[in-house]
Amino acid sequence: MRIDIISVLPELMESPFKTSILKRAVDKGLAEVHFHQLRDWSINKHRQIDDEPYGGGAGMVMMIEPIDKCISELKSQRDYDEVIYLTPDGLTLNQKIANTLSIKNNLIFLCGHYKGIDQRLRDLHITKEISIGDYVLTGGELAACVLADSIIRLLPGVLNDEQSALTDSFQDDLLSPPIYTRPESYKGLDVPKILLSGNSAKIEEWRHDEAVRITQEKRPDLLHE
């Protein structure tokens, strides 16, 4: 998989891909992540990438020319499955979206800034708009990192235990059940006896029942979708 990320602040996103699981995915060649400084496609010597909105109003708008030039150049080099704009008014990221994107080959992420991008860019290039929640950040960079992490960890060979990703919260519209490790007893709190029984069928039944219970308590909306 290849992910190209277009941003005003690419340096903000580099560190997550230099550590832990994401670094391993890149080092093993399972994922390529390329950052593109939007100002490199600016149309003037000031490297300007924003301008005042038509009709007036507060804030600045990301200009159409630099983004169009950048995306068009990338598209001339290879085919892309999706051009994704990270924006508060996009679809809220969930596990189903991550699963779908994880089987794609080439993706472009466009990080929003200021008041957002010229609408014509959405009309020309954007195929999917994604938000990571009902709040506003200073830019789309952190959202792009969240999206990339949620996708890359699902690629075959990235996790040492691929089954782990399949049993994460939300994979079956349920939150995860409680988990325990050694010691068996700690400060008067004991591991549930069923988990020590060795009865795989009963353990799976317990985990499912607990997942349903926790989902009902914390995220009942998931049970009604």
CA–CA gap between residue 142 and residue 86 (Å, rounded): 10
In the chain, the domains with their CATH numbers are 2-152 (3.40.1280.10), 169-224 (1.10.1270.20)
Angle at 169 between CA 158 and CA 98, to 5 degrees: 55
pLDDT of residue 72: 98
Strand 50-51, strand 61-62: pairing: antiparallel
Mean pLDDT in order along the chain per 10 residues (225 residues) = 98 95 96 98 94 94 97 99 97 96 98 94 97 96 98 94 63 86 95 96 96 93 80
Token code pair at residue 33: 């992540």
Rounded to two decimals, the pTM is 0.88
CA distances from 21 to 102, 146, 188 (A): 15, 13, 35
pLDDT of residue 160: 78
Instruction: Specify the 3-state DSSP secondary structure of 225.
Output: coil
